[in-house]
Amino acid sequence: SQTIHQWPATLVQPVGSPLSLECTVEGTSNPNLYWYRQAAGRGLQLLFYSVGIGQISSEVPQNLSASRPQDRQFILSSKKLLLSDSGFYLCAWSGRDSYEQYFGPGTRLTVT
Amino acid sequence: AQSVTQLGSHVSVSEGALVLLRCNYSSSVPPYLFWYVQYPNQGLQLLLKYTSAATLVKGINGFEAEFKKSETSFHLTKPSAHMSDAAEYFCAVSDSGAGSYQLTFGKGTKLSVIP
């Protein structure tokens, strides 16, 4: 069966520090991968999606970036965090030709 | 562009009462529709999905939803609420205009169950 992992689970970082969040999927190949941010009371905001290694599409211009160095690995990064980057970050995957998305457990990021 | 409207950001029901969470969508093509549940500090879990087969869809934990094309609705129901149903629920519609298989999510409805 397929599983999706995210780490770390929680993170507290000062403003201006770098960020790296990792997401890995097991039990499937060639998945579509997604990064979402969930801020309090604002629903889910799609940040990035990827249909293959090295292929990243950005939905929202910001100081975040994403990379997909391996088929089942998706990384969310920032060089300098802002207070507004605080939130709950969710990674998700779907099959190659499927809308059905499966979510990881999330990372709670607090920027202080 | 596709959109999803969930009526009511907060819904409270008594334990044992009917749960009804409303979702209306707009889509220019026949949609795929989903309901997800999120417990505090956890990821989203798929409850059920509509993919153009039966209009009444049954999901996990006793939930079901009915696709009504004429009303562009996909409301989520459960006959008898349980304390463990307290969570946030998200409706989502397939975004056929996007470059890949994306979903457009509603803003969520937080369900409280009163003992």
Each residue of B28-80: pLDDT tens digit? 777 899 999 999 989 999 999 998 778 899 999 999 999 999 999 999 999 99
> CA dist B97 to A58, B73, B100, B102, B104, Å?
15, 20, 8, 9, 11
CB within 8 Å: B94 and A90: no
Q: Which of B4, B34, B101 is the best mutation test for A, with the most CBs of A within 10 A?
A: B101
Of the candidates B42, B105, B108, the beta carbon closest to that of A105 is on B42
Checking if the pLDDT of B102 tops 80, the result is: yes
What integer pLDDT is reported at residue A106 of this predicted model? 96
- A2-7: long-range contacts (C-beta < 8 A, 24 or more apart)? A2/A26, A2/A27, A2/A28, A2/A93, A2/A102, A3/A27, A4/A91, A4/A92, A4/A93, A4/A102, A4/A103, A4/A104, A5/A104, A5/A105, A6/A89, A6/A90, A6/A91, A6/A104, A6/A105, A6/A106, A6/A107, A6/B43, A7/A107
Q: Which of A46, A101, A102, A110 is the best mutation test for B, with the most CBs of B within 10 A?
A: A101
Q: What is the dihedral of CA A75, A4, A86, A64, to 10 degrees?
A: 20
The pair phi, psi for residue B72, each rounded to 5°, is 45, 50
Residue B16 pLDDT level (bands cut at 50, 70, 90): very high
Helix (H) or strand (E) holding B58: strand B56-58
- Average pLDDT of the segment spanning B17-23: 98
What integer pLDDT is reported at residue B51 of this predicted model? 87
A64 forms beta bridges with: A78
CB within 8 Å: A90 and B43: yes
Checking if the pLDDT of B98 tops 70, the result is: no
Q: Which of B23, B41, B50, B102 is the best mutation test for A, with the most CBs of A within 10 A?
A: B102
- Mean pLDDT lowest for which of B4-8, B17-21, B27-31, B90-94? B27-31
The pair phi, psi for residue B16, each rounded to 5°, is 90, -10
What integer pLDDT is reported at residue B97 of this predicted model? 63
- The residue in chain A having the minimum alpha-carbon distance to the alpha carbon of residue B44 is A103
Spatial contact of A35 and A87, defined as CB atoms under 8 Å apart? no
Share of chain A above pLDDT 70, in %: 98
- Tens digits of per-residue pLDDT, A48-92? 999 999 999 988 867 999 999 999 999 999 999 999 999 999 999
Share of chain A above pLDDT 90, in %: 83
CB within 8 Å: B99 and A42: no
Q: CB atoms < 10 A from the CB of B36, how many?
A: 25
CB proximity B110 to A under 8 Å:
no
- Average pLDDT of the segment spanning B85-93: 96
**A-B contacts (CB, under 8 Å):** 53
Q: For residue A69, is it left (φ>0), alpha (ψ between -120 and 50) or beta?
A: alpha
